[in-house]
Structure 1
Amino acid sequence: MTTAPDRLLRRLEWKLGRRLDGRLQGSYRTVWHGAGFDFTDLRAYTPEDDVRHIDWNVTARLDEPFVRQYTEDREMTSWLVIDRSASMRFGGGAGKESTAASLAVAIARLISQGGNRVGAILFDNQTHKIIPPRTGRDQILRITRDLTSSVTKKSDKTTDLAEMLRLAATTTARRRSLVFVMSDFIGEPGWDRPLAQLTHRHEVVVIRVVDPSELELPDLGLILVEDAETGEQLLVDTSDPLLRARLTEQVGAREDELADGMRRAGVDAHRITTDQDMLATLVDMVRRSGRRRR
């Protein structure tokens, strides 16, 4: 008898085979190639270069910017850093947690082709789990099993995203890797600095998972709403135009704040919503990354 994780992996493998084979052939190597770099040489900086590869010591000595050149190892090590806090369980349809899990498994399956290693860090308010990187389908199945397992009860505090990112930096410190960070980025402020430190060491792909109702409040009349992180409840009238205007203003301010934080960290976040086609999103994400590198 097959288990739920095995069924999920088989379903995603079938979809990947039908819709991604040929369309992303080799793209994860040329677009997401941040793992296993060996330093080989220095050369003068050009405007197309990634500023993270500037050798500042050499630049200061010669008074001219120089970048490090690397040779990529044949084996890639990748990490999935996944926020499993209470706010990720919110959402209509599949919900944010399920959307992140499905996308994470699809990415792991894609990256694992060719013998590349994949590991995972699963984080919530109270606990975390580290799955060391390994190769093979059994590893992907293990990640799938842990992603679809139940999580701990709600905490009385918001998510410490900075702690999640510091944990990721500590866990992945041994070797330069390709790191996917998946979160709704609902939590305590101050996550931009540890994210910047993570991007200084690794190739980082940030995926922000959002439910459409978090961007635009649906008109449902009088409803009871609950803070997914703290459990605090409040009765609100979603038809009230003043309330809707205030929420729209707050959403705009929050989006601006998140964008500023991502800029300070030096990353471009991919925003996906729970009502999007997951595999179409994956294709678009790879193509967007490729255009930025060119």
Structure 2
Amino acid sequence: MFGRLSARRRRQAEAAPPVPAAASAAVAAVGSKQTEALLRRLEWTVARRLDGLLQGDYRTLFRGFGLDLADLREYRPGDDVRHIDWNVTARLQTPHVREFQEDRDVSAWFVLDLSGSVEFGSGAVRKRDLLTDFTAVIALLLTRYGNRVGAVLYGGATDNAATVIPARSGRRQLLHVLDRMHATPAACPGDTRLRDLLEQARAVARRRSVVFVVSDFISATGWQASLGMLARRHEVVAVRLVDPLELALPDLGLVVLQDAETAEQIFVDTHDPTFRKRFAAAAEAREAELHQAFARAGVQCLTLSTYARLDLALLNFTRQRRHRQGTARGGA
């Protein structure tokens, strides 16, 4: 949301010499090696701990070419004529084909908010770093069992076309998603329109899928209805990125705060206890509003903090999901 400006850092950045192209290529090569090492480490540590909690070896409700009928749709060129339902075709006077349940296969979509506010972090970890780590862990767990993953990357307030990575399976697909995420810069200045991102995700995710909406949900209004529409067809998990400095301001004295999206600057006195109370009250009201929005949309919310361990947050969340599912089955 807001980032503190440092005059010393600005002067150092302006005085630093430009990085040669060869050095940039070397840094990119090192980054790719670090990504491979990170994936190998995650596969040995995090994935093993979560094994059995998030996996694709089970029967799903997603459409494919199984034995159980899922739905009917109009015939399109290239469809198998053996799947034409002649009774429905005769009744509606339009060729219709059958779609069937798909066994042991999950399609997961990562709807990623890469706006300017996600670049913020008051400590060593930014919210964007947390977004990258979460996507890498969950995508790795899903692709291990042959499931397909895709991504929709936010294109900015002035760019209506988000970057879409079609859902595919395999380790190469995982590396492709991570590479496109690293190559995508922060969205251009302007208020985030999360509603546009959700609408584009609803257009590209045609199969019933698991959708992870990863964002800090600092956006212009109107996204709540789109999230509810997305949850009507898909299993949606809202992954919220937070930083403690966004919830309560410490006593830092006189500071200049800058909006990471609109570049608007404001001079505030954080030594004033009344101002800090007003800030905390506004943050608390926003927290309550977000929880109500998620409840109305019928989606579960996983909150990830830049000052908390990712593996512990995922373990707690999967335990809660297992307990909730077991309670629902017991009630039924």
Match of 2:267 in 1: 235
**1:139 partnered with 2:173:** yes
Distance (whole Å) between structure 2 residues aligned to residue 150 and residue 79 of structure 1: 17
The question of whether the paired residues in 1 share the 8 Å contact of 2:148 and 2:169 is answered with yes
**How many residues are matched?**
265
Distance (whole Å) between structure 1 residues aligned to residue 154 and residue 293 of structure 2: 21
CA RMSD of aligned residues (A): 2.5
Cα distance per residue 1:150-190 (max 9 Å; x no partner): 415632x31111111101100102x1111111000001112
Distance (whole Å) between structure 2 residues aligned to residue 210 and residue 34 of structure 1: 32
Bigger radius of gyration among the two: 2
Match of 2:10 in 1: none
The question of whether the paired residues in 2 share the 8 Å contact of 1:117 and 1:135 is answered with yes
> 1:13 Cα shift?
3.1
**1:18 partnered with 2:45:** yes
The question of whether the paired residues in 2 share the 8 Å contact of 1:112 and 1:136 is answered with yes
Unaligned runs of 5+ in 2: 1-25, 70-99, 327-332
The question of whether the paired residues in 2 share the 8 Å contact of 1:6 and 1:141 is answered with no
Assess, with a 3 A threshold, how the Cα gap between structure 1 residues 123 and 216 changes in structure 2: closer, same or farther: same
Distance (whole Å) between structure 2 residues aligned to residue 32 and residue 122 of structure 1: 29
Match of 1:263 in 2: 295
Higher relative contact order (CA 8 A, sep 6+): 1
**1:163 partnered with 2:193:** no
The question of whether the paired residues in 2 share the 8 Å contact of 1:105 and 1:144 is answered with yes
2:300 is paired with a residue of what secondary structure?
coil
Identity %: 34
TM-score when normalising by structure 2: 0.73
1:94-133 to structure 2, matched below 5 A, reads 94-125=125-156, 126-127=158-159, 128-133=162-167
Distance (whole Å) between structure 1 residues aligned to residue 185 and residue 232 of structure 2: 31
> 1:215 Cα shift?
1.1
Unaligned runs of 5+ in 1: 42-69
**1:82 partnered with 2:112:** yes
Assess, with a 3 A threshold, how the Cα gap between structure 1 residues 4 and 190 changes in structure 2: closer, same or farther: same
1:268 is aligned with what amino acid?
A: Q
> 1:3 Cα shift?
4.5
Match of 1:63 in 2: none
Q: Which moved more, 1:75-84 or 1:127-136?
A: 127-136
> 1:32 Cα shift?
11
